[in-house]
Structure 1
Amino acid sequence: MAASPASNGSVSGSDDVRPLFCQIYCRLKSELLEDPAFDFTDDAREWIEKMLDYNVPGGKLNRGLSVVDSYKLLKEGKELSEEELFLSCVLGWCIEWLQAYFLVLDDIMDNSHTRRGQPCWFRIPKVGLIAANDGIILRNHIPRMLQRHFKGKPYYVDLLDLFNEVEFQTACGQMLDLITTHEGETDLSKYKLPVYKRIVQYKTAYYSFYLPVACALLMSGENLDQFVDVKNILIEMGTYFQVQDDYLDCFGDPKFIGKIGTDIEDFKCSWLVVQAMERASESEKKILYENYGKNDPACVAKVKAIYNDLDLQKVFTDYENASYTQLISSIEAQPSQAVQAVL
């Protein structure tokens, strides 16, 4: 089924699309709640609508909006048609659906308490482990949306391949995170920078940074094989982002970051503990071994005290400045101004 116009008239690349983006969420949700592949009962429709509203649109929407912004930049100032704007928003929402799917299941695996400033979905009364199936439903909504709105497009199969590959990479990154945590519980010294970077690149960077730009490139008629350098830059950006996230998990204010950090309690292979293990004395390492991964405020406080003694806040600032400089240099080396603008 061809996409219908998102609004009247053509849309300038400088317009704020967030309100329209949110309107399109409502349309996509309505379509999924009337999907002819399933004979919905009233209870099923009510459950899925509640589940979608709780998990999909509540974040910053940066990943989804990045598709629209990237596509506009690749058009190099040309006005977007109604269909182009609508389809770029649909792809953006497909990524937001993917994000919701990952987070619903990740929160169960991590036994987390809050997400985006509210209780995790599986902690809602009467939800519990039904959330695992809800995650599967979220994942299966994505090909339904792609089929409905992109099946006649020349890049349709490429989109399916892209989403399947990135989902596989992210799931493998999650696996690395989980099994590395088990190894870390046995021997904290296994938490090293190369191990950390591998987890981050696969668990976060591909779907958060590469996928939105790759979607925009496919919509523009480009072959992704020609943009390997762009992919590498985006993966480095994703690593930079995750280091920031790890830092904020410990040092950020939950009121502003929307969640209570639990990396220390969860024995996570966090950038902070990797840096601490590289710099700690034997006595400090002993304290980390004895207290890291314990769900006890006193133990968490001792780990944070080591982080402060090692001045990891300054280590982070130095890393942040060096990474920013390197990323800017790599971006400026790209031959296409449109691609530079996207990055």
Structure 2
Amino acid sequence: MIDHPLFKDRIKKISEHFVFSKFPLQGEFLIHAYELLEKPENITKAKLNQAYILACASEMYQTYISMQDDVYDMSKTRSGKPCWHLIPDASALAMNDTMFLRSFIIEVLRQTIDESMYTQVINVFNEMYFVTEMGQFLDVYFAQTKNYNDFTMENYDKMSYMKVSYFFMNTPILFALILCNKASEEYYKLVLDLCNDLGVFIQIHNDFTECFDVGESLSRKTTNDIENNKLTWTAVVALQHFNTEQRNIFNECYGNSNPEKIKQIIQLYEEVNLRQLFKEEENARYNNFLQKVQNLPANATPPPDYFMKIFNYFKSYASDSSRFYFS
């Protein structure tokens, strides 16, 4: 059905556009989780091949949602490259291309994943699509309503969990559990509980670094969160600390593309010392995660040391994300 060279060339270009620009962090998480959770004698060439297929499919999935997100946010670059919808031969076909890639991912899984795991794998991918789409809806919805009473930490955490945390932090471990034949409701709940804070903090880190232009954001994506009226961590926390006058200025300037209005928003953030508030948030999220890990029994699946490795790896990622992108 896809024998036509036009289809093959298009799928190749779409699937490789962002994947080859960055370190395959999500895929690495998955492979690492599998090798840690599986008994050494069960790690066969065939099983590793299944793990690598899932890792590649996960990376293509990240490209899929990144391409859609860039269209919604009118972004210009990601991973140091022009966004897909700005490529000359993409343009009006950009959204169709994302659907093309989504179907291709499912077809790859259909042809390659072992029958004994196929249903579980597809269920996780379907949930990824659904959860991420709900997160994308919340992202756009809160931006369009311009009701800053909705800019709460509860709404922000929910949106970030759905849009980022579930697919980025949780699913690599869920796939590893499926590969090891250890998937269960109990283990799923443990993973979701422990990894949610780290996943949400990925989005918090992005919001902060993109707003203040501090080093590299985790996505290396151009941003226009202020002018697009986005529900961000920076806006939520600043609103919690504004006095009446500052709140009035925020209401007037937020969601405005005028460069002077954007500067006024940044100035408001500086006035409430948002940089220090970010450090406090970072420490609180990390400490909460560490406390949960320390409370795990030694025989937990995944074990406490695995979550600590994720924790340390993520800290290195957040502190210097430039190491995870290729020239």
Q: Contact between 1:193 and 1:274, CA under 8 Å: does it hold in 2?
A: yes
Q: Quick one: higher RCO (CA 8 Å, sep 6+), 1 or 2? A: 2
Aligned residue in 2 for 1:219: 179
Q: Which amino acid in structure 2 is aligned with residue 302 of structure 1?
A: Q
Q: Any idea what SS the aligned residue of 2:186 has?
A: helix
Alignment partner for residue 295 of structure 1, among 252, 257, 269? 257
Partner Cα distance (1:66, 1:177) in 2: 26
- The answer as to 2:175 corresponding to 1:238 is no
Q: Which amino acid in structure 1 is aligned with residue 282 of structure 2?
A: E
Q: Which amino acid in structure 1 is aligned with residue 292 of structure 2?
A: S
Q: Which amino acid in structure 2 is aligned with residue 179 of structure 1?
A: Y
Alignment partner for residue 272 of structure 2, among 290, 310, 334? 310
Partner Cα distance (1:256, 1:313) in 2: 15
Partner Cα distance (1:79, 1:220) in 2: 8
Greater CA deviation, 286-295 or 256-265?
256-265
TM-score, normalization: structure 1?
Answer: 0.83
Deviations 1:38-72 (A, max 9, x none): 231x3332233222221333233111111001111
CA RMSD across the alignment: 1.8
Write out aligned runs for 1:266-277 (5 A).
Answer: 266-277=228-239
Write out aligned runs for 1:155-170 (5 A).
Answer: 155-170=117-132
Q: Shift of residue 254 of structure 1?
A: 6.5
Q: Any idea what SS the aligned residue of 2:21 has?
A: coil
- The answer as to 2:148 corresponding to 1:195 is no
Aligned residue in 2 for 1:175: 137
Partner Cα distance (2:209, 2:105) in 1: 31
- The answer as to 2:74 corresponding to 1:111 is yes
Partner Cα distance (1:47, 1:214) in 2: 30
Q: Contact between 1:97 and 1:142, CA under 8 Å: does it hold in 2?
A: yes
Alignment identity in percent?
A: 25
- The answer as to 2:97 corresponding to 1:134 is yes
Unmatched tracts of structure 2, length 5 or more: 308-327
Aligned residue in 2 for 1:342: 306
Q: Contact between 1:213 and 1:342, CA under 8 Å: does it hold in 2?
A: no
Q: Which amino acid in structure 1 is aligned with residue 44 of structure 2?
A: S
- Are residues 329 and 255 of structure 1, via their aligned partners in 2, closer, same or farther at CA, if it must alter by over 3 Å? closer
- The answer as to 2:315 corresponding to 1:328 is no
Aligned residue in 2 for 1:247: 208
Aligned residue in 2 for 1:48: 11
Q: Shift of residue 327 of structure 1?
A: 0.3
Q: Which amino acid in structure 2 is aligned with residue 90 of structure 1?
A: I
Partner Cα distance (1:63, 1:292) in 2: 34
Deviations 1:199-225 (A, max 9, x none): 111111111111110000010101230
TM-score, normalization: structure 2?
Answer: 0.87
Q: Shift of residue 163 of structure 1?
A: 0.8
- Are residues 160 and 283 of structure 1, via their aligned partners in 2, closer, same or farther at CA, if it must alter by over 3 Å? same
Partner Cα distance (2:295, 2:39) in 1: 19
Q: Any idea what SS the aligned residue of 1:223 has?
A: coil
Alignment partner for residue 35 of structure 2, among 52, 61, 72? 72
Count of residue pairs brought into register by the alignment: 303
Partner Cα distance (2:285, 2:31) in 1: 26
Q: Contact between 2:205 and 2:217, CA under 8 Å: does it hold in 1?
A: no
Q: Shift of residue 76 of structure 1?
A: 5.8
Q: Any idea what SS the aligned residue of 1:260 has?
A: coil
Q: Shift of residue 285 of structure 1?
A: 0.9
Q: Contact between 1:105 and 1:135, CA under 8 Å: does it hold in 2?
A: yes
